[in-house]
Structure 1
Amino acid sequence: MKRVIAIADRAALVSLKLLAALNVLFFLSFLVVLLLAGRAHAGVPNCVGTDLLTALEKNDPAAFKKVETEAAAVPNGKGLLWKLEKPGEKPSYLFGTMHMTDTRVTTLPAAAQKAYDGAGTIVIETTDAMDKAKMMAAMASEPGLMMFTDNTTLSSLLSPDDAAALNKGLDARGIPPATVAKMKPWILSAMMALPACEVARQSAGEPVLDVRLAADAKASGKDVEGLETAVDQLRAMASLPLEFHMKSLVETMKLGDKVNDVNETMIVLYQRGEIGMFWPLFRAVLPDTADDKAGYAAFEQTMIISRNKVMAAHAGPILAKGNVFMAVGAMHLPGPEGLVEDFRKAGYTVTVVN
């Protein structure tokens, strides 16, 4: 009999699951459409969320100041658009994205729009996401990355209380539990971390920012390149412990409508270019434990740092041609092992534009 993973009724892993969701939202956009097509409401729901940073500043000024101090200490933590320069090459640009359809995200800042318009080559994380058939073929090539292929089901890995919480959350989204019983937890976590309005827009066919940038570039005759494959991303996510993913799934369900607050806060910070403030803020407003730190470290190494190294290596020959606009998830940019520093180590002068 398979071991049941019991999960305490707390929000201790909210930060972990949200980061996981953030990094896979773009990859899963077509999957979400596939799963929820026909289940979306006739109109786009109004997802009203509260900016947690503003609330923290008002209710706990000392904690707010601590968040600001921690964010300021994150290397390259402020700015979405970065200019990459190297002697003998035309300048290129690195831009941090959010994998969402919200118009506040998909409307590029003026400087980024100018850099995008002038670029000869557009680079995104994976071009597989531009082609639904190719995406589905990639998923089908290794079904074990997406689905349990033995007798395991999601409910068999949960305590009765957590299984009930999961089913309640699915029912609230109009998703029959039986239709996702064999789905791997990271797929469902990413889907449930999306606000209902985001799900509705994606179900209606609206592209997330990265896909829109690539599709528009292709339509205008620009070269479009990818840095990894859909399977690469799935393998990375699947390599993390199953218990980690099951905890994330249940805590995502328990978050309920508060997911709107988290997404609203991320969008507000994103618009301000305050990428380095994401985690200091969420650590301040959501519970944290030693287990969280260990889990986050494993997640960061697998889903961010290791992928950064692959992206930087694959981007090298493309950037050497010059005049490139490279758009990847914003969480890949900051930190001592972020892409900004990786490109500096590769010999580029990297300066923030906005």
Structure 2
Amino acid sequence: MTNKVLLIFFLFAISSPSLSKDINTECKEFIKNSEISENNANQKEKLLFEKGVLWKVITPKNKVNYLYGTMHSQDYLVSKYPHEVKHVLVNSKKLILEVIPDNISNSVYIDRMYYKNSKRLDQILDGVFFERLKQQLDSYNLSENQIKKIKYLKPWAAFNLIGRPKPVRAPSLESNLFRLAKERGLIVESLESMDNIISSLEKINEADQINILKDTICNRKEIIRDIKKLVNLYVNRDIVGIRAFNDIKHSNKRFYDQFMQIMLDDRNKKMLKTIKEEFEFGDVFVAVGISHLIANNSLLELLNDQGYKLEVIY
């Protein structure tokens, strides 16, 4: 089954015995194939840190800055920043987020999540999977316009939507950090734009995107349940647990390696360049998804290898 990190509508469910049989058969075969490809030995490796989400980073020129690993979630357990994080942030001069959580970013996301050419999701996704997708979207309270546009969703947009709990009317952790920084008069910038992130997602070929979508459709209940486990690991700042959780299940090695290369490794290299430049000024607070800080070839590893001193603050 696809790695849970891979890492935001109302329809009437279609009741049909033959449809149910078909999707169950399709999913059984899909899960079987995924399980066969999951026989990758989990290698134990020495980690820089076993716990933590907030680090002090001292440059070779002794400038002090901070790196904070976030979780992209509206879960109330995650979205409220700890006192230790607030103390460091309000005493910084600049906040740099992975992406600015504003209406502009949201509009870009919504604009790019739909096909604008002749392509349609219901034409490239097998019919039984598309019908199950529509049933699963029943709990997402879509507007009438969104319902009409389901067939134009791009695969990555569809699996991002159903691969997470139903959104709640609550700000994310990044939104709360953004608001606090603005209230305190900090400069706020981002490492990437929403266009950058979506362009990275769309480097994954369409066949692999469809593969992820089928996986998500077939295993959605387990994925949602496991997200709750991941939230608890994050709240407890358990790096070892998060790493183990993310390494346990993923699809075939070729795809997993490609996904990690595109969505983490390549982006980390670009982020690192910007972060190093900003850290030369000192008093900079950078907040990015926790995976960017603790996965293989993480920002923490790259900075450590280049002579930056790292210290867990929280």
| TM-score class, shorter | 0.7 to 0.9
Q: Which runs of 5+ in 2 are unaligned?
A: 11-40
TM value normalised by structure 1: 0.72
Rate the CA distance shift 1:282–1:225 in 2: closer, same or farther, 3 A. Answer: closer
The amino acid across from 1:126 in the alignment is V
Rate the CA distance shift 1:78–1:295 in 2: closer, same or farther, 3 A. Answer: farther
Contact 1:124 1:328 in 2 (8 A): yes
What corresponds to 1:63 in structure 2? Answer: none
Rate the CA distance shift 1:110–1:304 in 2: closer, same or farther, 3 A. Answer: same
Contact 2:79 2:171 in 1 (8 A): no
2: CA distance, partners of 1:324 / 1:297: 32
2: CA distance, partners of 1:260 / 1:135: 23
Is 1:19 the counterpart of 2:11? The answer is no
Is 1:200 the counterpart of 2:150? The answer is no
> What is the 5 A alignment of 1:231-246?
231-246=195-210
Rate the CA distance shift 1:273–1:178 in 2: closer, same or farther, 3 A. Answer: same
What corresponds to 2:126 in structure 1? Answer: 159
The amino acid across from 1:236 in the alignment is S
The alpha carbon displacement at 1:265 in A equals: 0.6
Corresponding residue to 1:262 among 207, 226, 230: 226
1: CA distance, partners of 2:50 / 2:148: 42
Contact 2:57 2:308 in 1 (8 A): yes
Q: Secondary structure at the match of 2:118?
A: coil
TM value normalised by structure 2: 0.80
The amino acid across from 1:102 in the alignment is D
The amino acid across from 1:178 in the alignment is K
2: CA distance, partners of 1:229 / 1:101: 20
Aligned residues: 281
Corresponding residue to 2:150 among 180, 193, 200: 180
Q: Secondary structure at the match of 1:83?
A: strand
The amino acid across from 2:70 in the alignment is T
Corresponding residue to 2:237 among 250, 266, 273: 273
The alpha carbon displacement at 1:139 in A equals: 5.0
The alpha carbon displacement at 1:279 in A equals: 4.8
Rate the CA distance shift 1:168–1:311 in 2: closer, same or farther, 3 A. Answer: same
**1:280-302 superposed Cα distances (whole Å, 9 cap, x missing partner):** 33554x5x5xx522211111100
**1:122-159 superposed Cα distances (whole Å, 9 cap, x missing partner):** 110122x22x14542x458xx6x532222221111122
Rate the CA distance shift 1:150–1:99 in 2: closer, same or farther, 3 A. Answer: same
> What is the 5 A alignment of 1:123-162?
123-127=96-100, 129-130=101-102, 132-133=103-104, 135-136=106-107, 138-139=108-109, 145-162=112-129
2: CA distance, partners of 1:107 / 1:263: 17
The alpha carbon displacement at 1:162 in A equals: 1.7
Q: Which runs of 5+ in 1 are unaligned?
A: 1-11, 23-27, 29-35, 40-65
What corresponds to 2:95 in structure 1? Answer: 122
Q: Secondary structure at the match of 2:153?
A: coil
Rate the CA distance shift 1:134–1:174 in 2: closer, same or farther, 3 A. Answer: closer
Contact 1:75 1:336 in 2 (8 A): no
**1:66-124 superposed Cα distances (whole Å, 9 cap, x missing partner):** 98x84x64444532111101254441110100011222212333432321222121110
Rate the CA distance shift 1:174–1:250 in 2: closer, same or farther, 3 A. Answer: farther
Corresponding residue to 1:221 among 162, 185, 200: 185
| Percent identical residues | 23
